[in-house]
Amino acid sequence: MQTDDVRQDLADRYPPIADHALVGDGETAALVGLDARVAWACLPRFDSPAVFASLLDADRGGRWDLPVRDLRSSRQHYLPGSAVLVTELTTGTGTLRVTDALLLDGALQPRTSSATGALGRLLEVVHGTVDVRSELRGRDGATVEGSAVPLPGGGDRALHLSSSRDTDRGHVLGAGDRWALTLSWTDEPLDLDPDTLAEALQRTDTAWRDWSAGVRFDGAHADLVLRSAITLKLCDHHASGAVVAAPTSSLPEAVGGERNWDYRFTWVRDAAYTVYALRRIGMVEESDAFLDWVLDAATREDARPDVLYTLDGTFPQDEVEDEEFEGYRGSGPVRWGNGASGQLQHDVYGEILDCAYQHVRHGGTLTDARWDRLEHLGRLAERHHLTPDQGIWEIRDAGRPFTYSVAMCQVAFDRLARLAELSGRADRAAHWRALADDVRADLVDRAWSEEDGCFTEHLDQPGTLDASLLALPLRRVVDAADPRMVATVDAVARKLSPGGGLLYRYLHADSPDGLEGNEGAFVLCSFWWVDNLVQSGRVQEARELFESLAARVNHVGLLAEQVDPTTGEFLGNFPQAFSHIGLISSAVLLARAEADGL
C-alpha cells in the first residue's frame, strides 16, 4: 500500500493525464505535455513498441524534454481546425513557443510506408530571452543525438535526431531566434533547418485544415465537436481504416490499482457507434473505410469473430505484464497486448451486423458470399445468445447472461432481417424478423424486474444494474420513451451516479468482475444518459447534463476514458475515442432537438 509520502512523490514525478495533447499522422501518435515533454509515442505505428513512455515509468520509460530555466507558467493550444500543437513556456526572462506536429507531406492520406515519419519541433522565442536545452532519452535511457539509434522492434529501422543547434548543451535564445528539431524514422535523417521545418509545419497545418473543413456541424459546442472529430482522425489508422480505442496502454482506471489495459487495438464493438457518429458530421470517407475494415476482419473466417483486432485485422499478441515499468504513479502492472481478445462477448454479433446494415443502407453492396458469412454469424448468435459471456465490460470472472449481450444478439437478428429486405431475400427476412421479435419479447420480459422497477444487468436476476442498459434505445431494442426504459434511466442515475453528471459502469460490490479495487466514472456512459434524455423528450435535462460534461474536457478539448468523481482527474487511456464518439452523438441529437423547437 502506498504511504502519503510515496503518493506525493509519485504525483510529483507524474503529471496529470489531462495535462497532455495529442499529435499524429495517421500511422501513430504522440502525447505532448504542458511542459513540452513528449511523454508517449509508439513508433512507427500505434501498436509498435513504445519509444517514449515516461507516463508509465518516469525514469525508464523514455521522453523528450525541452527544459527551460526558471519556468513560471505554460499554456497549450491547437491551431484552429488542426492537429498542429503550440505550447508556450513562460520563464522569468521571456516566452518560448514550441510548435509540434507529426509532419505530413500533403493531404491526410495513407503513407506508402509506415517506416517513414517525423516529429518536428520548432522552438521560437516570442519575447525576451529563454535558456533552453533538448534532452531526448529512449526507453532504455540512452541519449539520442545525431547518430542513428535502433528503433525498438523495428529491425533495421532507426531513429534519427537532427538539430539546427548543438544538442550537447543548452542555448540562450533571444527574441525571434529559432531552433529546429526533427526526430525521424527513415532510412536517412530528415535534416530540416528552421525555415524548412516551418514550411513543413505549415503544410501539415494546411492538410489538417483542408480535412477539417469537411466536418459538418453548426450546433452548440461546435468547437468541441470539431476537436472530437480531429481526435478521432488522430486515432484513425489511415492505411487500413481501423480506429484504435486509444493510442496508449496501461493508464490506470484507478491510481495504484491493477485495472490497466492496452487499448492500441480496434474493438468491433466500437465500430457501429463510430461509423454512425462520423457519418452524422460528414466524415463519410472515414466511416466507409472503418466499415470495410470491420467487415473484412470479422467475416474472413468461419470461426467465431474476435472481440478486438490489430490494425491489420489479425488477432493481438498474448497479454504480457511489463516487469520493468512501475506504472503511472505506481499503478502496476503495465500490460502490452489485451487478454480480452479471447473472451466470449456475444454482443459482437450485433455490432458486426449493425455495421453491415449501415454499409448497405448507405449504398454498399451485399454479395452472396458476404450474405452467407453474415447469416453464419446470425446462426452463431441464435445458438449462443442465452449462454453466459464476459459482457460489454469484459469482466475477468465467470460468465453471466448479460442483458446487453442478449440485446445485441437481438440486434443481429433485426439487422439480418433488414438486410434481407433490402437485398430481396424475402424468405430469409421472414425468418430473422420472427426470431428478432421473439428474442426481444423474451428479453424485455426476463430483464424487467417488478421488484426493482427497472431493467436489470442480467436476465432473471433482480438487484443488478449496469450502465450498458442505457444503450438499449440507442440500438433500437427498447424505445427510449417506453416507461420501463425511462424508469431504468432514472434507476441508473440514482444508483450509479456519484454526482456531477458522471456514471459508474457498475458497482463492483454488486457486480464482481474478478479484479481488485475500484475505477473511475466512465465518460461514454454519461453521453448515453444524455441521448436517452433527449430521445425520451427530457431535452432540458439533457442540455444541462451535456453542459456539465462539456466542461470536463481538458485545456485542448480532449477526454479520457474515465474521470475520478472525487477530484475530477482523468483516468484510463487517453484520449479515448469512445468518449469523443459519445460527445459527437449527443451534440448532434441536441442540435436536432433544438432545430425541432424542443
- Per-residue pLDDT of 345-381, as tens digits, reads 999 999 999 988 988 888 888 889 889 989 999 999 9
**pLDDT of 348:** 92
Q: How far apart are CA 328 and CA 438, in angstroms?
A: 48
Q: How far apart are CA 129 and CA 70, in angstroms?
A: 11
pTM exceeds 0.85: yes
- Here the cell at position 569 is 482527474
- Higher-confidence position of 340 and 559: 559
- Per-residue pLDDT of 576-593, as tens digits, reads 999 999 999 999 999 999
* Three-state DSSP state, 159: strand
* Three-state DSSP state, 505: coil
Q: How far apart are CA 213 and CA 266, in angstroms?
A: 26
Q: How far apart are CA 204 and CA 198, in angstroms?
A: 10
Please list, in sequence order, all residues whose beta carbon lies within 8 angstroms of the beta carbon of residue 440, skipping any fewer than 6 positions away.
410, 414, 477
Beta strands 71-78 and 85-91 are antiparallel
- Higher-confidence position of 306 and 445: 445
The three-state (H, E, C) secondary structure of 224-263, written as one string:
HHHHHHHHHHHCECCCCCCECCCCCECCCCCCCCCCCCEC
**pLDDT of 292:** 82
* Mean pLDDT, residues 475-496 taken together: 97
Name the DSSP class of 34.
Answer: T
299 touches 292 (CB < 8 A): no
Please list, in sequence order, all residues whose beta carbon lies within 8 angstroms of the beta carbon of residue 427, skipping any fewer than 6 positions away.
none
137 touches 209 (CB < 8 A): no
* Mean pLDDT, residues 225-232 taken together: 96
